[in-house]
Structure 1
Amino acid sequence: MLGKLMKYEIKATGRILIPLYIALLAFAIINKIFIGTGFSNKLDGFGGIPFILSIFGYGCTMAAVFIVTFFVVIQRFYKNLLGDEGYLMNTLPVTTITNIISKLSIATFWNIISGIIAVLSIIIMAFDPSGFARFFSELSHGFSEAYTEFGGQIFIVILEGLIAILVQFIKFITMIYASISIGHLFSKHRILSAFGAFIVLNLITTAISSIVGITFSLSNWNPFNNIHSFGPVHLLLIGVIIINLIFFAAYFIITHYILKNKLNLE
């Protein structure tokens, strides 16, 4: 059933997001054509106006990709589980956990896709065969030297860093879900209450994270003291992952408890 919910969620959000991604790539291709044909060097005449408009459209679309993606996935959670559609969702033979996981999974999916599309659009505009050949040659050389110096640990650290970033993002989305759920407990001014709850939860998260960071600082522990060993760096990244997983679990539990036991769709 989770797969069906995720498939439905992708269709519902994709109708808005996919055309936006296509528009961004289209602007990138148009700008690349202008750059390749020399229009970008003719900004003092009528010929430069289309290029300026295209660059402006690209910038606006790039901003819209991230802003709209963020608000669409948040709006889907609020409307689908706490709004009018909540009556239908709560009649389906699925658990509350399944509903939350489906929303969280698709939110993560679309934000990753947004990042990939943004990077791809930049690559399209900046593409130069010789320049990219040099870039990948230098990158390959750098990884080769790092592997010679540190061995396979360098790739493990990169993987741990990527996991830390992903967990940090998932925790952030779950904190927003928890904030919206808390705001829904109020009979009036629910959106304002949700915003207030987000501020409080964010302050709590920041305070606890700062305390942990200060504790390590006072212990004079520096993960970069020994540049030839990645052991401390592994501990640092794993610690970051664990802390964010704890916050994620707390916010997930809050969201689940409210949706399961305190849901009021009136």
Structure 2
Amino acid sequence: MNICVLHIILLLWVALISAVDRATAGCSFPQHTSENRKIEAKIQPLLGKRFRAEDVNKEYVYKIGICTDALDKTEFHDMENNKNIGVYQFKYTDGNLDPKDGHVVGRYNNTSMTQGTGWILLEYRDGEKYHTHCTQETRRARIMIICDEDVDVGSERINIFEENTNKTGECYYLFEMASSAACRTKPAVTFGLSLGSILVIVFVSVVFLYLLLGIAYQRFVLGAKGMEQLPNYSFWQDFGNLQSDGCNLVCRSGGSPQKPTFKGLGDDQLQEEDDRDDHLLPM
């Protein structure tokens, strides 16, 4: 019984340590921090995970960590400068891994990330220097994460794709991994109504209630018949004329009546003169 309890406590402790390591996992980006942080958040399910890859000739074994230490404490031994190792290369010696015969390929405290359609490229820099080739520059590792919706998070495998050292500069180790974490998040399909649709529904409902209640009031309370049952019938009857009058007032400009430039006799005076001439007519 005590042994079972001890095993349970040990498992819980290991799970807690793994959760803490994963929660604190993260890369450092000396350049373009904001964009790289967005990509890092996209592959959040992969952060803190460790992978193992072998080359085709089974001469080297690579330990890879996604924004975390690739090696655990038991593999450090007397290694100098063992911090922030993202990718480490072991060499087989007599069928066994020799930690003393290996190289730091890249460190995750100097990382860059780029993305495209269906892929994310994670690059570790500041590895150990080459001895004879690539102008003795520092090693770097590139991890290509390709979108594959059929590969669930947690079941990924990583492979060494290429060791590009046949160059005079910018040599790199290229790794490839398929994961659904690199796929674009599909937008959730919603079937809600837009604001315009809601306004149209409200308007139609208000008009319907206005007509229904208005006709009922006109018919059963006021006793109206025929077209007079429509609410505010006289207003709607003159509605077109009111619109026309408003248009004439706002949109049309009529000419002002011209005032006479010569002030002569008025019509009332002419009328009086005509009246004074009436006695001259023959009787």
Q: Structure 1 or 2: larger strand share?
A: 2
Pair member with larger Rg: 2
TM-score under structure 1 length normalisation: 0.20
In the superposition, the TM-score normalised over structure 2's length comes to: 0.19
- Structure with the higher fraction of residues in helix conformation: 1
Structure with the bigger RCO (C-alpha within 8 Å, sep 6+) is: 1
